[in-house]
Amino acid sequence: MPKKILIVTTNFSDINEEIKTGVWLEEYAVPYLTFSATGYDITTASPKGGESPIDENSLSCSNPMEWDDAAKLLRNTLKLSEINYKDYDVLFIPGGHGPMFDLAFNETLKEIIEYMYENNKIIAALCHGPIGLISAKDKEGNCVLKGKKVTAFTNKEEEIVKMKEFMPFLVEDKLRECGAEFITEKPLSEHVEIDGKIITGQNQNSALLTAEKVIELLR
């Protein structure tokens, strides 16, 4: 049987009337296509199901054409609460700013992460995706990231893209509050941290490497 990967994406789009967000396409498309090329069984789900909006800033005529096929899958995701998550070998959470508003404290996602963590399955998250891990606890009641080496979109990167003031909090700050050992590299550089079965990537430029590290752990 092929390995099964559950990709959880955001449903959030409207920060305000002028600023929209969602999934950063590269962070979904590159891992999806990389996993698909291996023959893995991939499911895309979101808290509400249906459309997982794509951040328009991640759309470009220079994007590879094959990303278009992946983008179509975001138009009709499955509802997260209807997924039999115990069947999956990997949980993968791509970023974009959307997860800051709906994945950070989602109870269903929390339940899934806690199950995956306790059963030594792979948990991977990219850019703002690691914010989805902050509510999950281990059996001792600690954040599952406590003492773990992790990375994510940094405070400095948030300043560079001029989105800091529009965020309810900063992902780097929250991961540090969880007790994680947060490790940064230069802004927008390729950077992945692996601690046991937890894999985190710093930004969109880390999408391919994050996916490749997932595949290495699955083999």
Q: What percent of the chain has pLDDT over 70?
A: 100
> Cβ contacts of residue 67 below 8 Å, gap of 6+?
25, 26, 29, 30, 33
Q: Look at residues 111, 77, 94, 182 and name the one whose alpha carbon lies nearest to residue 170.
A: 182
Q: Can you give the pLDDT at residue 1? A: 84
Q: Is 30 exposed, middle or buried (0-12, 13-18, 19+ CB in 10 A)?
A: buried
Pair of tokens at residue 8:
């959880």
136-150 confidence digits (pLDDT tens): 999 999 999 999 999
What pTM was computed for the model? 0.98
pLDDT at residue 31 tops 90: yes
DSSP H helices in 143-206: 155-160, 171-177
Q: Identify the domain containing residue 93 by its residue range.
A: 4-218
Maximal CA-CA distance, the chain = 49
* Calpha distance 111→53 (Å, rounded): 24
Taking the CB of residue 165, how many other CB atoms lie within 10 A of it? 7
The CATH number of whichever domain residue 175 belongs to comes to 3.40.50.880
**What is the four-CA torsion angle of 154, 15, 9, 161, rounded to 10 degrees?**
-30
What is the number of domains present in the chain? 1
pLDDT digits (tens, 9 = 90+) for 2-18: 999 999 999 999 999 99
213 close to 35: Cβ distance less than 8 angstroms? no
Residue 4: phi and psi, rounded to 5, are: -115, 130
Q: Report the alpha-carbon distance of residue 180 to residue 157 in Å, rounded.
A: 19
pLDDT of residue 50: 98
Phi (first) and psi of residue 132, to 5 degrees:
-65, -10
- Cβ atoms of 120 and 197 closer than 8 Å: yes
Summarised one tens digit per residue, pLDDT across range 82-122 is: 999 999 999 999 999 999 999 999 999 999 999 999 999 99
